[in-house]
Amino acid sequence: MIEVKNLTKKFTRNSTEFDAVHDVSLEVKSGEFAAIIGHSGSGKTTLFNMIAGLISPTSGKVFIDGEEITAMEENEKAVFRNNNMGYVLQGQSLLSNFTILDNICMPAYLSPNVDDFKDRALELLKQIGLEEFANEYPSNLSGGEIRRVSIVRAMINNPKVIVADEPTSNLDPENSKKVMQMLSDISKSGTTVLLSTHELEYLSYVDTVFKMDHGVLEV
């Protein structure tokens, strides 16, 4: 489902070129729940941004469900992401001037079936016990609640793949467990889930673990 082949991303800092991601290859199968562990600055976020098609690699290829996202034009990538992928960013990624329901439905507002998506959003909120917050604004939710809403937003289009970058960062243990259980349940329903983390205590939820250090991936 996710196939990464010899991916490299070079950046220049203080006139010196370096590899943020160096020759990374990995495969995550359909319905698999995989994690990439590594300290801050190890290259995880850069790798995830390339997998999601948000930045282009210096070299290498990324395939999602057999489609080479690295070969697509920017508008093609945007359409492909919207139809096939959910991306949970680090930290607070909700728009503060929109309600929780509007935040969740944002990826679907270009669809003629937007009312169906609102029904689905409300059902997903109900499943995680946050349906009463549908018309609230992000400022009225806790960090753990916002993170779970972000995952619901990533699920709204029934994606084949969810990529979650440090989804438990800055959360207390109780909310971290809720987020990990939510992602585990999503993978058991058939969605491929890839997350990054530096919190090793939550790896019992995942099927496969990769380690990243200084841009290099180890199995």
- Single out the residue of 119, 141, 143 nearest to residue 130, CA to CA: 141
- In this structure, the number of other CB atoms found within 10 A of the CB of residue 122 comes to 15
pLDDT at 118: 87
- In this prediction, residue 187 carries a pLDDT of 95
Rounded CA separation 200/59 (Å): 30
Distance CA 14, CA 91 (A): 28
Q: Pinpoint the alpha helices (H) of 164-213.
A: 173-188
Strand partners, 67: 64
At 82, give phi and psi (nearest 5°). -65, -35
Total residue length of the chain: 219
Give the whole-angstrom CA distance, residue 122 versus residue 131: 6
Instruction: Please give the pLDDT value at position 111.
Output: 62
Identify the three-state secondary structure at position 9: strand
Domain residue spans in the chain?
2-218
- What pLDDT does residue 112 have? 64
Residue partners of 101: CB distance under 8 A and separation at least 6: 118, 121, 122, 125, 134, 135
Give strand pairing partners of 161: 85, 192
In this prediction, the residues of the chain whose per-residue pLDDT falls under 70 are: 109-113, 219
Q: What is the pTM of this model?
A: 0.89
Contact 20, 11 (CB under 8 A): yes
pLDDT digits (tens, 9 = 90+) for 128-173: 889 999 999 999 999 889 988 998 998 888 899 999 999 988 888 8
d(CA 30, CA 1): 5
Q: How far is CA 127 from the centre of its chain?
A: 20
* 136 close to 168: Cβ distance less than 8 angstroms: no
Query: Domain 2-218 has what CATH class?
Result: alpha beta
Q: What are phi and psi of 189, to 5 degrees?
A: -80, -5
